[in-house]
């Protein structure tokens, strides 16, 4: 509906121009790749030539309605038509259709349309969405990271400025996107004016609870853009990929990412079930600069320990939201874990507990330090273990389980890393880059 209004406005402007003795039409063809091509179409004396290679000939008859025929070439190779009569009379209705190919990292294929279709989002809300979705803004880093892995060129904007570390191993297109802010965490809000100006086809928000539904409804009213809710909970991630594949018209891409996600989680559960209780190892998750913040079993921030068969030693309360329950050095010494996973927090808090643990004599009495089982979470472009708790943790499952129980797994983590980055991050790692990523993260050979 929102975009049909624009078409009617264009037709009205054309009619006025013809009355004055000269007609001009303008249109924007936005490709799904990095660049955008704008072509102005001039109509003179029944002959029409467009900058994208559009031509028409013959006598043009108008009675308030006009249609264009031809081909517009953008960097996404897009061909458009709009109920056309090409040489002679030209008629345009309120609906425009077309087709094109996007050579994006997610290999997204689209066919342009101004019509809408009803969908039920993952919270059960009935939403009208465009037949073709080329651009998506997500309200939080979790959703933005999710959409980047699905198709980087569909991401309309970011929620935070990317650090240099986050820019490593991501596409140039993604790195150059504007920051629109977002609705997540404590007190964060997106830039309504800039989001509307960017004109994404959809807004993607995470969560399916009552609060998320209310927030999505309010945001949709403010933006005038359909807001779709997905479930980014760990166990629902695969279905979220399938859902996004359906509403964007790229079912194949959604299924490919969903299948990898499902298989990884299922395999981890099978491996964990095969590990005898007396072979389970104890693990401490060390957060913030001194390593004296953690998340106990049951927290979404430490769930990879539970999933992969580790025993989380942290006997403390779960802190809601960002987590990070503060503990004392005396408590950690009493817990005496066999393994320590040291968090790097990607800018959300002071990070780098690995160095503090390895260089502080107080930690030296703990079994994990004495045995050389302190490992740092790989972090670029996103943390493999936590924060954001999104698709970046899928490769973390294989890393953690192989770290704790190499005798029960058959993963070649370096090769698994290459495969994951190629499929999800659209980046082919060199051997040297893999070694750099995992420098403090693997058992000594």
DSSP for 344-386, written as a single string: --TTSS---HHHHHHH-TTGGGSHHHHTT-EEEPP-SSS-SSS
Indicate the burial class of 221 (C-beta count within 10 angstroms; 0-12, 13-18, 19 or more): exposed
How many other CB atoms are there within 10 angstroms of residue 90's CB atom? Answer: 23
Indicate the burial class of 237 (C-beta count within 10 angstroms; 0-12, 13-18, 19 or more): buried
Instruction: Compute CA distances 222 → 198, 215, 230, whole Å.
Output: 15, 11, 20
Model confidence at 234, in pLDDT bands (50, 70, 90)? confident
Identify whether the C-beta of residue 43 lies closer than 8 Å to the C-beta of residue 87: no
Which 3 state secondary structure label does DSSP give 172?
helix
How many other CB atoms are there within 10 angstroms of residue 294's CB atom? Answer: 28
| Backbone angles phi and psi of 223, in degrees to 5 | -90, -30
Dihedral sign from CA coordinates of 399, 430, 250, 190: positive
Which 3 state secondary structure label does DSSP give 439?
coil
Strands 282-286 and 227-230: unpaired
Report the candidate in 375, 362, 298 with the shortest Cα–Cα distance to residue 332.
362
**What pLDDT shows up at residue 347?**
53
**What pLDDT shows up at residue 35?**
37
101-130 average pLDDT score:
70
**What pLDDT shows up at residue 346?**
62
CA separation for the pair 9, 201 (Å, rounded): 19
Model confidence at 351, in pLDDT bands (50, 70, 90)? low
Of residues 80 and 294, the one with the higher pLDDT is: 294
């Amino acid at each position: 509906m929102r975009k049909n209004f624009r078409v009617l406005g264009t037709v009205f402007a054309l009619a006025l121009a013809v009355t004055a003795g000269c007609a001009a039409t303008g249109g924007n063809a936005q490709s799904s790749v990095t660049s955008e091509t704008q072509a102005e179409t001039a109509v003179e004396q029944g002959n029409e030539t467009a900058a994208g290679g559009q031509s028409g000939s013959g006598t043009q008859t108008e009675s308030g309605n006009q249609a264009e025929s031809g081909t517009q070439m953008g960097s996404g190779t897009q061909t458009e038509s709009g109920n056309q009569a090409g040489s002679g009379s030209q008629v345009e209705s309120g609906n425009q259709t077309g087709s094109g190919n996007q050579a994006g990292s997610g290999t997204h294929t689209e066919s342009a349309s101004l019509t809408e279709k009803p969908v039920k989002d993952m919270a059960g809300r009935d939403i009208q969405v465009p037949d073709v979705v080329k651009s998506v803004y997500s309200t939080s880093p979790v959703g933005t990271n999710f959409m980047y892995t699905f198709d980087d060129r569909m991401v309309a904007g970011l929620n935070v400025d990317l650090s240099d570390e986050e820019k490593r191993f991501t596409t140039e297109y993604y790195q150059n996107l504007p920051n629109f802010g977002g609705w997540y965490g404590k007190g964060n809000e997106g830039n309504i004016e800039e989001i509307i100006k960017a004109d994404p086809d959809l807004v993607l928000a995470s969560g399916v609870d009552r609060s998320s539904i209310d927030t999505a409804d309010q945001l949709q009213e403010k933006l005038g853009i359909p807001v779709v809710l997905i479930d980014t909970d760990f166990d629902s991630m695969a279905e979220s990929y399938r859902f996004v594949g359906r509403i964007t018209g790229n079912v194949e891409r959604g299924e490919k990412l969903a299948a990898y996600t499902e298989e990884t989680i299922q395999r981890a559960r099978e491996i964990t079930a095969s590990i005898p209780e007396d072979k389970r190892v104890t693990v401490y998750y060390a957060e913030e600069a001194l390593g004296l913040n953690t998340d106990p079993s049951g927290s979404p921030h430490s769930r990879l320990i539970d999933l992969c068969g580790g025993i989380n030693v942290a006997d403390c309360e779960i802190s809601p939201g960002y987590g990070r329950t503060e503990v004392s050095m005396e408590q950690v010494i009493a817990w005496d874990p066999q393994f320590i996973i040291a968090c790097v927090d990607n800018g959300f808090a002071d990070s780098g507990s690995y160095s503090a643990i390895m260089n502080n004599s107080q930690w030296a009495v703990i079994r994990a330090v004495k045995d050389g089982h302190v490992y740092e979470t790989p972090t670029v472009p996103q943390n493999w273990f936590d924060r954001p708790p999104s698709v970046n943790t899928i490769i973390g499952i294989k890393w953690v389980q192989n770290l704790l129980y190499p005798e029960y797994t058959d993963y070649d983590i370096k090769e698994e890393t290459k495969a994951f980055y190629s499929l999800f991050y659209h980046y082919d790692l060199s051997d040297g880059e893999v070694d750099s990523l995992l420098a403090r993260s693997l058992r000594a050979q």
